[in-house]
Structure 1
Amino acid sequence: MFNNDSMNYYSTSTLKSALLKSYAWMAVALSITAVVSYGLYATNALMILLSTMPFLFMLFVIAPFILSIAFGVSMARSTSSTGMKVMLVLYAICMGVSLTSIGYVYDVATIGTAFLVSAVYFISLAVIGTTSKKDFTSFGSLCMIGLFVLIITQCFMMLFRVSMDVRLLSIITLLIFTGITVWDVQRMNRLLIQSDGSIVAQDKIAIFMALQLYLDFLNIFLRILQLIGMGNRNNK
């Protein structure tokens, strides 16, 4: 899949170190999101924020889109990864604010179960993406097209108030992000191997892919939560 010249930049141990760094930053981002969400829910700070500063809440919702663009710009520039690390932390905080609402919809046991199932599911996909000799590039591209079509379809359904079974929508989205996750894991290996082998390049790719995998995990978690949480709504 990769040419011999690009492979010379990385030893096996260096590649593993770079991969572990990316997964570590992904775990850090998930932890920040979880802590922020729990803190806002436990203290009821989200309701206070919504009632007193609704525009600030909207800023937290819009900020991830801006940060995503900034990530792409930072990858293209020959700068250090420090700024990208700060943006990843800010992204995780913003997502923590946005996801606090699930605490008012599902009970703690359901959320915990969904998280554990998602973790096992994600790890399985990561292993497949890392060890499989099959090239998932075309499959990943197909999933991205499917995701784009799904988003457009949802917009039309909302506009014309067309109903669709939540379970069916969750399953379709889960299948799409299954393909995207395996593709991202394989893409991370490819980017690392084809880079110039410098510490700066390694760090930037690790942080960039940590964001991609973080988003993959969150989407898998939310879809599994919807499937498991049907009939287990929090009546608080």
Structure 2
Amino acid sequence: MNEFPFVGDQRQALIEAEQARFITKVYGWMAIGLALTGTVAYFVASSTTLLQIIFGNKLVFWGLIIGELLMVGYLAAAVTRMSAATATLVYLLYAVLNGLTLSAIFIRYTGASVMGTFLITGGTFAAMSIYGYFTKQDLTRAGNLLFMALIGLIIASVVNIFFRNPIMYWIITYAGILIFVGLTAYDTQKIKQMNIIGNEGTEEDHKEAIMGALTLYLDFINLFLYLLRLFGRSND
């Protein structure tokens, strides 16, 4: 059954309107996740006791990291089988856990440089999202190449944990910025196309929005962290 019994420009206008409402919902949930992460990170950074609990015990710290990875994996693998409420809860819990571990940036870098980098990230992210949403060019091929580059970036980052090579560190930094700038545009286009027309207001629509929000949230956080390597000023 055709959800939109219109033809030509009328149908296209309805499709574009629903896509706009869907992407607005996605960005709303992404913003909630970022706000939750930032609030938790700032609160933890203000508490010596919490910092000691998280970073003074390797088991706690790595437990949080593993918990984050498991939550993302669980949400991606099982979102079709869980309720919209459960998907939302897992996403918000992930944002909280991420805030616990990211509290370290408020200790390592000055507040002014963190805020400045956040604004730079926001501007860059917005520009690439707008491009990804409105461009008529198919970004699928570029997205596939960026995903392969991301895998290489992860491997190089793990290797450099052991070698601590400063040249490799900066290569990884610049590569990470370029990769996540590109992924922001690609993921925005993919999320726009992911919306099922005529599905608005359903449980499936809400879960699609949560998955889209998680994807863009991860793009934003990673871009922010790589830019912070460039623009962050140490507290030392």
Alignment TM class, shorter chain as reference: 0.7 to 0.9
TM-fit CA distance, 1:50: 3.6
SS of match in other structure, 1:164: helix
Residues in 1 aligned to 2:231 and 2:106: alpha-carbon distance in whole angstroms:
14
Q: CA shift at 1:202, angstroms?
A: 1.1
1:39 corresponding residue in structure 2: 43
Question: Is 1:220–2:223 an aligned residue pair?
Answer: yes
Question: Contact (CA 8 Å) 1:167, 1:227: kept in 2 or not?
Answer: no
Q: What is the TM-score with the length of structure 1 in the denominator?
A: 0.87
Question: Which residue of 141, 144, 148 maps to 1:145?
Answer: 148
1:201 maps to 2:204: yes
The answer for the alignment partner of 2:92 in structure 1 is: 89
Which residue does the alignment assign to 1:57?
Answer: 61
Structure 2 equivalent of residue 17 of structure 1: 21
Tell whether the 8 Å contact from 2:18 to 2:197 is kept in structure 1 after alignment.
no
**1:51/1:226 CA distance change after superposition, 3 Å:** closer
Query: What is the alpha-carbon distance in structure 1 between the residues aligned to residue 45 and residue 235 of structure 2?
Result: 13
Distance 1:160 1:85, change over 3 A: same
- Give unpaired runs (5+ residues) of structure 2: 6-10
Contact 1:22 1:209 in 2 (8 A): yes
Equivalenced residues, count: 227
* Distance in 2 separating the partners of 1:65 and 1:51: 18
In 2, Cα distance between the equivalents of 1:13 and 1:195?
11
Matched residue, 1:188: 191
1:100-115 to structure 2, matched below 5 A, reads 100-115=103-118
For residue 79 of structure 2, give the secondary structure of its aligned residue in structure 1: helix
1:179 equivalent among 182, 202, 222: 182
Shift of 1:141: 0.8
Are 1:233 and 2:234 an aligned pair?
Answer: yes
Change (3 A) 1:164 1:51: closer
Q: Distance in 2 between matches of 1:29 and 1:45?
A: 24
Please provide the CA RMSD for this pair.
2.3
Per-residue CA deviations over 1:93-141 (Å, capped at 9, x if unaligned) read: 1100111111121100000000001001100011000000001111011
1:29 aligns with 2:33: yes
Q: Percent identity?
A: 27
Any stretches of 5+ residues in structure 1 without a counterpart? none
